[in-house]
Structure 1
Amino acid sequence: METLADFIDIDVDILSIGLNPSPNSVLYGFPFATPQNRFWRALNQSKLVNKRYPPSVESIQALLLQEHIGFTDVVKRTTRSGSDLRVEDYRRWAPILRSTIDSVCPRIIWFHGKVAYRNFAQFGLGQMVGSIDWGEQKSSCAGAVIFISPNPSTANAAYSLAEITAWYDKLAIVRRRSANRRAL
């Protein structure tokens, strides 16, 4: 099976978790590679990073090594749409993601979308979750803060670029607060 490689290091502060890789991401070798995806524009307009990153493998590597943001997915099977995923995909891949989280020990686990989080919680943590709010969650995983922002895919038209960027700004605040706690 052809899929997108993880971009993870032991020094990850934030582990960015998408639902699954798109065909464009697999083709170009980096997450959020579909030109219409709003991830890169939201990231570059947010307070989460200090410089601009153009969509590329080199930028993903710089985000990992300089910004300490890693990238993976709940499911590694490539599909054109998240609606093409099956329960079997979550059963197979969510426990692998849980193992990855346990081995990397990020401070913050950042899910792109409620569908990604809900299915990880059910199939990776064995927890059924009810209503999910955006932002920092009350629960944690492996000692890490869980943060959920709207999926930046254009298929998620309910949220504007400005709204997605605002959630990335809130993640930046959580990151600073988390770093301050760790320093104490």
Structure 2
Amino acid sequence: MAGPSYSSTSAGNPSKRARFDVDESILLERRLKDSLKPGLDCVIIGINPGLSSAYHGHNYAGHGNHFWKCLHASGIINFKATYQDDDRLIEYGIGFTNIVERTTRGSADLSKNEIKEGAIMLRRKLALYKPKVAVFNGIGIYEVFSGTKNFPLGLQSETLDQTLVFVMPSSSPRSSAYPTAQAKMPFYLALKQLLDSIKADEFNQLDKSKVIFPPKVGNNSNSFISRDGAASSKQNNVLTRKDVGDHESDTDQPIGSHNDTSDTSESTVVLSRYFLDTSDD
């Protein structure tokens, strides 16, 4: 698909340059198909498609996204790939999916109900396809899925049946705590080490300290982001572990630290600051 061409204005806002040569409303109707099959080495999990990926029809197509550069530089794949190669990677044991199928301008446009249903569906997909490793491309994505903010980065103690879980910072260049490809490389190198140990049937001998990272001090902020991007200390309408399909949980611990006091399931979910750093664009 041809790359975007830029016009001087965007619909409804003459002062803002349009990003694409098609109307945004068309992009918002587009979906990305999953790239999955049984027994993959890993599945890369995003939150939902952004406008760039919807435009190109491929994963992580946003300008400057570090995913493809880091994937090659770490040695996980042995060739330089771009977003146009995402379907090809299934031949190399790498699949793609998102928690929510719907395209949005940003993750803050997602509703609580969408994320709740998407997280449940993701658990079903992982149970069906049984990848060796589920890789969450974004800290906030795993917050939503797991229902907790208290976890290291890298390999998690939680497993999903026989699938290991690995969490890394968003590949977006807007990732505030890890804004460069260089800052993210240790996580891709650790993922490579983890995958190599599994392929060699040496996971039990792997030094787990090499693939587990403590979160940066101050990352787990109590500041949340509303629909308009404004920070707020009030954490209403959050999701609990049981909300997102963790039926083994006997707690209604919310994502965040406050109780869910809202019954409006279709209102915009209150998201942590990590969701400003969308993994797609």
Q: TM-score range by the shorter chain?
A: 0.7 to 0.9
Q: Which digits, 9 at most, give the CA deviation of each residue in 1:3-45, with x for residues without a partner?
A: 1111112241101101111111122111101122111121121
Pairing 1:64–2:87 present: no
- Show the counterpart of 1:76: 101
Is 1:28 the counterpart of 2:53? The answer is no
Q: Which has the higher contact order (CA 8 A, sep 6+)?
A: 1
Question: Counterparts of 2:193 and 2:41 in 1: how far apart (Å)?
Answer: 13
Q: Report whether the alignment pairs 1:91 with 2:119.
A: no
Q: Which has the larger radius of gyration?
A: 2
Residue 124 of structure 1 corresponds to none
Which residue number corresponds to residue 19 of structure 1?
A: 47
Q: 1:155 to 1:84 in 2, by over 3 A?
A: farther
Shift of 1:176: 1.2
The 4+ residue runs of structure 1 with deviation greater than 3 A are none
The answer as to whether partners of 1:23 and 1:80 remain within 8 angstroms in 2 is: yes
**How many Å separate the matches in 2 of 1:14 and 1:71?**
9
- CA-atom RMSD in angstroms: 1.8
> What are the residue-to-residue correspondences of 1:1-184 with 2, within 5 Å?
1-56=29-84, 59-65=85-91, 67-121=92-146, 128-159=147-178, 160-181=180-201
Partners of 1:71 and 1:6 in 2: CA distance? 6
2:76 is matched by which residue type in structure 1? L
Question: In the TM superposition, what is the alpha-carbon distance from 1:182 to its structure 2 partner?
Answer: 7.7
Structure-1 separation of matches of 2:109 and 2:98: 15
Q: What displacement does 1:129 show?
A: 2.0
Judge conservation of contact 2:46–2:141 (CA < 8 Å) in 1: yes
Aligned partners of 1:110 and 1:149 also within 8 Å:
yes
Kindly indicate whether the alpha-carbon contact (under 8 Å) linking 1:18 and 1:74 is maintained by their aligned counterparts in 2. Answer: yes
- Write the distance in 1 (CA, Å) between the matches of 2:136 and 2:71: 14
Between the aligned residues of both structures, percent identity stands at 26
Q: 1:75, CA displacement in angstroms?
A: 1.4
Mapped to 2, the partners of 1:37 and 1:86 lie a distance apart of: 25
Aligned-residue offset at 1:183: 9.7
In the alignment, is the contact (CA less than 8 A) between 2:197 and 2:203 conserved in 1? no
- Give secondary structure in 2 for the equivalent of 1:156: coil
Greater share of helix: 1
CA apart distance, 1:93:
1.1
Q: 1:84-110: per-residue Cα shift (whole Å, max 9, x none)? A: 222111112111111111110000000
Map Cα deviations across residues 147-182 of structure 1 (whole Å, 9 max, x no partner). 011001122132121121221110010111122338
TM-score normalised according to structure 1 size: 0.88
Could you list the runs of 5+ residues in structure 1 that have no partner in the other structure?
A: 122-127
Who is 2:254 aligned against?
Answer: none
CA distance in 1, matches of 2:121, 2:87: 22
Gaps of 5+ in 2: 1-28, 205-281
> Quick one: which amino acid aligns to residue 74 of structure 2?
S
Query: Within 1, Cα distance between the matches of 2:65 and 2:176?
Result: 11
